[in-house]
Every structure is written in structure tokens, then in C-alpha cells.
Amino acid sequence: MSVKKVKKSKKDKKGDEAGTALSLMQTTTGKKKKSKKENAKKRKLAEASDGTPAAADKKKKKKKKKNAEGGDKKSKKKESVKKSEGGDKNTKKEKKEKKEKKEKKGKKGKKEKKEKKEKKETPEPTAAPAARAKRVHLYEEHPEVTAFSAEQCAAHRSEMDMVCTGGEINPITKFEHITNMPLSCKKFVSQFEKPSPIQAQAWPALLMGRDVVGIAKTGSGKTLGFMMPAYLHLQQSLIQQPMTKKNPGPLVLVLAPTRELAMQTAAVCTAVDDNSGMTCHCIYGGVDKWPQVQALQNGLHICVATPGRLLGLIREGKCSLARVTYLVLDEADRMLDMGFEPDIRAIVGHIGDGPRQTLLFSATWPESIQKLGNEFVNEPYFIKIGSEELTTNSDVTQVVEVTDERSFVKDKRLIELLQLYHKTKKEQDDHLRAVQEGRGEGGAPHPRQGVRGRQHQQRPDSIRTH
């Protein structure tokens, strides 16, 4: 069969070319669609193939990782929550602790206040110092005294109406029998003929370092009886305990019941002193305490005081008794009668428990004084002169003179008496100063202070005594 070749026009050729181009376009797009479908199928097959054990393990691992990451995040969140809760708890605890501390401080403050009040009522005794002076035997017996027989000593004691217990100690009969008496004391006693009975027996016992209880009438020479040995005691004690700025307290302490008696004792002390270098100061109530505080701070060797004012200065921290090694309770019966027993116990408690020589002098010997003596003195040498009952001293002449109410009349008569009975101007000035200290403004006398300085007792209007 023959094929006829047909000639096509240019337009037909262009149409054919366009048709082929379209067909090519269609085929390419079809291929793309097929390739997409195939890829989708492959994905589905891959997803289907994940059902294998290896794929399952991978999935599990992925899940575990996710869970672990999620757990970490949760744990972190929990920790942060716990921390915040713990912080809240800590803040609460801190607040509670602060409150408790405040409460404790408040309680401590209350306790301290109570303790201070209790200390004021019953002060606690201070601790004894590390180094205390030992009791030293200072007596050098004179050969004449050593030669006294027992019969001679007994006759001498009966002549003086004296009873002694606590050992055999021969009494002296002359001032010269005290061979180591200080020069200032020798000058002072030169005005007397011989030692008084209490001095004759107390001096040897005190210089031996013994505690002494002396029962004697008022005006029997007890003040010089304990002051002369006190000077010898001071000379020895200052070697062992020299005075320092840190501890300027006294070595000798004398307690007296009234201001008048304390001033009399201090006057004897200053008269005996006579520029020997021993300082003495009198401390009593009813006057400005600043000069007394200054004297204590500057340092003194002998302190003569009434119990009330001295205990007040101790409680204020103005007075230290840590160095006291020689304690005298003068007129102990009167101090107990005036209600000073608690103050005396408190003062003795502040002295401490170290070696100390204690002297107790009284005009009477009732059970209350015996009990006090048994507590404070150690194996004492007991001296009793005369009766144990309270009586006036027949050796002392007492004159009562009634004067005009006007103060200048009284003062004029007082100056006349001072000039009559005192030899030196210094003695007159000392007594006048003592009188002036006891007067208020305008020369009017202060009302007498009674029991423990708190109750006022006016003098009688009709009678004035000298």
C-alpha cells in the first residue's frame, strides 16, 4: 500500500508542535504526581514497617527520654516549690526564734532586776582574795611579865575584878611591858599612869593573834585596847598586802552603833596616829557621802563606820572590804538593840572567809551577843571585867548640865568646856568640827536619827546634856 505524503502547511506544523509540548507537559506533571504518590506509599510502608521489635525499642527509648526530660522538669518544679516552702518555713522559724530571744531577754531582764533587789535586801558575800595576810604572832613578852607566877596573875585579876578564859596569858602592869609599841602610841599613852584592866589583859592576847571577846563597862579604855594592837597589825599586814590603786580598801574595820561613838573612836585613832602615815576615816550617815567616797577611793588603812552607811556604800560599789584582816565590833550589844544584826552579817559576809582577827567588845553579855560571838570569832580569848549586867562605870564622873534653849548660849558653854578639858587647840578644833558636822543650816542641831537611821527622834525640849 502506498503511503501518500501529504504536505502540511506552516500553521499545521505549529499546531503539532504545540500539541507535542502539551503532551510533554502532561507527562511530566503525571510523573510528578506519580512520584509524590510513591513517596507517600513509601512513607506508609515505612510507618507500617515500624511495627518491628527494633522500631518498638526505638519508640520506647524516645518515650523514656521524653518522660525523663519531663520528670526532670517536674522534679525541678517540685524542688523549686519545696525550696519556696522551706524558705517560708525558715522565715517562720527565724521569726519564732527572734520572738523567743526577745522573750528570753525580757525574762533575763526581770530576773536581773529581781536579783538586784534581792542583793539589796541580802547582799551576797564577795569572794575572798587570792592572797590574804596570815595571822602573825607579834607579842614579845617582857621578862617581868614572864616572871609572874600563877598566884600573882590570879591576885592581879581579882584586884581588877577580871575573869579570863581561853588559855593562860599573863596580864601586863606597865606600858613598858609592850616592848614593840609604836612610837606614836607611846606618846599617846604617856598621859596615863598605867594600862586599864581591859588593856592590861587584851593587849597580850591581841598581839598573839588571838580573837578576843571583851566584856567591860563603857569608858573602860576599850578603844585604845583595840587601837594600839591595830597599828602593829597594820605594820605587819602592809608588808604582805601593800596598798594599791586597784584595791585601796582598808585593812582595819571598826563598826560602831552610833555616829557619836564612831567619831570618838576616829578621834582616838587620829590622836594616836601623830604623823605615822596611817590614814583613818570615819564613815557615818546623816551627812554628804561624797567626801567619804573620795576617802575610800584615795585609800585608807583604818575605817571606822556605822553599819547602815557602810553597807550602803558597799552595795553601790564604792567600798571594798576584800583586804580587811582586823575586824572590831564595838558596843555589839547596842548594835543588836538598834536592829543592826542583818547589816553586820552582810558586812562580815563581804569581808570573805580568809584569815582574819576578830574582836568583839560589849558592855553586856546576853544570849544574842553570845550567839553572834560564836559565829564571828574563832576560839576567842574571853575577858570579862565586872558584872555582866549593864551598869554605869564608877570610874567615870558624869555631869548633866541644863542650859538655856537658845543655841548661842549652849555653844558658848560648850566652847568653855572644851577649853577646860582639852589641852591643845587641835583637840578643841576637832571636837568643834564634829559638833558643827552634826548641825544643819543656821546652827540648828539635826534631829537624832534612831533605829538604823530611818526613824527620827527629837531631843527633849526641857533638858540638854553634855
- The pLDDT of residue 453 is 39
pLDDT in tens, 174-185: 999 999 888 888
CA angle at 311 for the pair 305 and 315, rounded to the nearest 5° = 140
- The pLDDT of residue 247 is 74
Closest CA to 303 of 274, 283, 326, 332: 283
- The pLDDT of residue 274 is 62
pTM of the model: 0.60
Helix (H, G, I), strand (E, B) or coil at 163: strand
Those residues whose C-beta lies under 8 Å from the C-beta of residue 306, and which sit 6 or more positions away, are: 255, 256, 257, 258, 259, 262, 283, 284, 285, 453
Euclidean distance between CA atoms 359 and 380, whole angstroms: 9
Average pLDDT, the chain: 75
- The pLDDT of residue 2 is 44
Q: How many CB atoms lie within 10 A of CB 327?
A: 21
pLDDT of residue 250 exceeding 50: yes
pLDDT in tens, 69-91: 665 555 555 555 555 555 555 67
**Of 23 and 266, which is predicted with more confidence?**
266
- The pLDDT of residue 265 is 92
Architecture in CATH of 143-385: 3-Layer(aba) Sandwich (3.40)
pLDDT of residue 33 exceeding 90: no
- The pLDDT of residue 410 is 80
Side-chain-side CA neighbours of 356 within 13 Å: the count stands at 25
Mean pLDDT of 264-289: 85
Q: Which of 53-57, 60-64, 139-143, 383-387 has the highest mean pLDDT?
A: 139-143
pLDDT of residue 245 exceeding 50: yes
Closest CA to 169 of 210, 118, 223: 210
What does the domain layout of the chain look like in residue ranges? Answer: 143-385, 399-440+457-466
pLDDT in tens, 318-374: 999 988 999 999 999 999 999 999 999 999 999 967 789 999 999 888 888 888 888
pLDDT in tens, 390-442: 455 555 667 788 877 776 778 788 778 777 766 666 666 766 666 665 544 33
- The pLDDT of residue 8 is 47
- The pLDDT of residue 244 is 72
Euclidean distance between CA atoms 387 and 7, whole angstroms: 187
pLDDT of residue 99 exceeding 80: no
pLDDT of residue 226 exceeding 90: yes
Euclidean distance between CA atoms 349 and 123, whole angstroms: 8
Confidence of residue 206 (pLDDT cuts 50, 70, 90): very high
- The pLDDT of residue 466 is 36
pLDDT in tens, 127-156: 333 344 456 678 989 999 999 999 999 999
pLDDT of residue 270 exceeding 90: no
**Of 13 and 421, which is predicted with more confidence?**
421
- The pLDDT of residue 19 is 58
Torsion angles phi and psi, residue 346, rounded to 5:
-65, -45
